[in-house]
Structure 1
Amino acid sequence: MGLLASFILTFLCVVECCAQEHRSNISIMTMSPEIEPGSGNSDNNISLSSEIENVTSTKIDQYDIRIKALEQKLEEIEREKVKKCSPTSFLDTWDMASLIMEKARETAINAPNDSQCQTTCRPGKKGTEGAKGDIGSPGQNGATGRQGAKGESGTPCNCSRYDELARKVQILGEKARELQPLADGWYRVPSYPYWYKLFRVSSSYQTARKNCELMGGRLAANGIRNPTIRSDLLDTFIRRTGTSIWIGLDDLEKQDNWKWSDGVSSTSSNTPWGEGEPNGPTETCGCMWSTLQYRLADIRCNYQTFYLCEK
């Protein structure tokens, strides 16, 4: 019995020692500090934020350079137009400006907008958790825990340069649309909003009127009533033709009730008739008559001559 008792005591000691070692391991694992949510290498975060900002600024600077190039080309077109050169001489400059504008538009589209800009900003770190409140008495809520510390502020978002870039592209697009008729051979008297194109194709009044309307315009009216515009058009290309020119004036709706193509009623003050005009009951359409120094005359509407469109 003595030998059996010794064996049992030895076995129990071994079991107890193993149990103590296991409890020690559990204690060590339990006491290990948890990794705080939101913590990390702040230096890496700052470096990443700076890199994003540098790339963004570089791209916007590239967009600005392209837009400035377009602005210079559009200014060049305006200067050439003021010189009253032939519209065809602008085509090369226009094509170059259009290409630059298209590139600027593409880069602007690819530039982050406000919502995309927000996603590139680094969020702030999560604040530490507040201490637990005391347990309340049964049936009542416990006391409110203390508020946790305020988390670190995130990187501020500044999308103002994207907004400025978009505004520049919009303005340039509007300028380009204003100059588009120039590439199509239209002419604009400086400081006036109307465009004019002389068609050197002999046509009747009705055909001429229809063709102008198909191009989004009308037979010239406002520019003929305005002495400044009329004088400029005469000097620029009308007198060079040596022939009469259809303009937008007729009394087709009611005899002797002359109206311009834009709906304005004809009066002695706004209609530069030639001497003795109008003078024919069967002549119901008006034109700039060459033998009257391009003052207006009424003639038959089926007369074939050149015509001037306005838009």
Structure 2
Amino acid sequence: MSEMLRYMVIMVLIYESFLHLVHGHCCCDHDEKEQIIGPPGRPGKAGIRGSQGNAGEPGRGGRNGMVGGKGVKGEPGVCDCSESTTSQKRMAYDLSMNRDWTWIFHGSNIYGYKLFKEEKTYQQAMAACEAVRATLACVGMRVPALRERVKAEVVRPSGSTRMWIGLDDLERMNHYVWLDGVVSNRENTDWYRNEPSSATERCVELWNYHEHISYTLNDSACIKTFHYLCEKIY
């Protein structure tokens, strides 16, 4: 073999070896339709994050539960008649205006009473009671059993003989109405005999006529000045 031919054979062998290293097989082993697949590429960059979706509608509320059964009746309370408890029940304090107003009240009801020894007209007395969150006495003068206790425990010990209470006929002549809205009648109004007696006397006082110990009601001119009896709900 000539030197030229030997050289050409060596070059062909080197070229085939090169093709085998690049393609993994001989370039003539695949047909025309087969594609040569190279190694996988690098991963692509992450895509742009989408916007957040809208919140869903709130769910419907559940159905109401069954109505509970009737509770067990409680035991009767125990009355505490100790000296300290009784004292607390009979006195309360209103510290408005830097003064200690003492109100006498009863454990059998929710009303407290105070007689103020200040001379005032009916309207002034009404306003003074309202200033200490009270009203001129109504229930304490209308309910017979309570009325007698208020007289015995509040009115008589004070020594006052004339005081305003919460009754008048200012809205309509001879139609007396208590300040809490109850209409006056012979059953709930303890008038002195032959009272009310004057068309010019439109407001009512509790008075001790000539030291008559029962204290009864009398119509009087609203511009007169008397002491006044206040009633407060506790």
Whether the 8 Å contact between 2:126 and 2:135 is mirrored in structure 1 is: yes
Contact 1:247/1:309, CA 8 A, preserved across alignment: yes
Identify the structure with the greater strand proportion: 2
Output the amino acid matched with 2:144. P
Q: In the alignment, which residue of structure 2 is the partner of 1:270?
A: 188
| 1:186 counterpart SS class | strand
Q: Runs of 4 or more off by more than 2 Å in structure 1?
A: 75-82, 179-184
**Is contact 1:247–1:286 with CA below 8 Å preserved after alignment?**
yes
Cα shift readout 1:199-256 (whole Å, capped 9, x = no counterpart): 0111111100011112111100011011122111111131232421110000011111
In the aligned structure 2, how far is the partner of 1:80 from the partner of 1:218? Answer: 24
TM-score (norm 2): 0.57
Give a deviation string over 1:125-162, Cα, whole Å, max 9, x none.
Answer: xxxxxxxxxxxxxxxxxxxxxxxxxxxxxxxxxxxxxx
Displacement, 1:184?
A: 3.4
Instruction: Provide the TM-score with structure 1 as the length reference.
Output: 0.43
Residue in 1 that maps onto 2:110: 193
Q: Report deviation, 1:81.
A: 4.9
Computing the radius of gyration from Cα coordinates, the structure with the larger value is 2
Structure 1 residues 1-311: aligned runs within 5 Å:
77-81=84-88, 87=91, 179-181=92-94, 184-240=101-157, 241-291=159-209, 293-311=214-232
Kept in 2: contact 1:189–1:229 (CA 8 A): no
How far residue 76 of structure 1 moved from its aligned partner, in angstroms, is 5.2
CA change 1:242–1:197 in 2 (3 A) is closer
> Percent of counterpart pairs with the same letter?
37
1:69-90 CA distance string (max 9 Å, x none):
xxxxxx65422256x6xx5xxx
Gaps of 5+ in 2: 1-81
List gaps (5 residues or longer) in structure 1.
1-74, 88-178
| More contact order relative to length (CA 8 Å, sep ≥ 6) | 2
Offset at residue 181 of structure 1 (A): 4.8
Considering only aligned residues, what root-mean-square deviation do their CA atoms show, in Å? Answer: 2.3
Deviation digits for residues 177-215 of structure 1 (CA, Å, limit 9, x no counterpart):
xx5559631110231110111101111111000111121
How many residues in Structure 1 have an aligned counterpart in Structure 2? 144
Q: Is the 8 A contact 1:189 1:232 kept in 2?
A: no
Report if aligned partners of 1:219, 1:246 keep a CA contact under 8 Å in 2.
yes
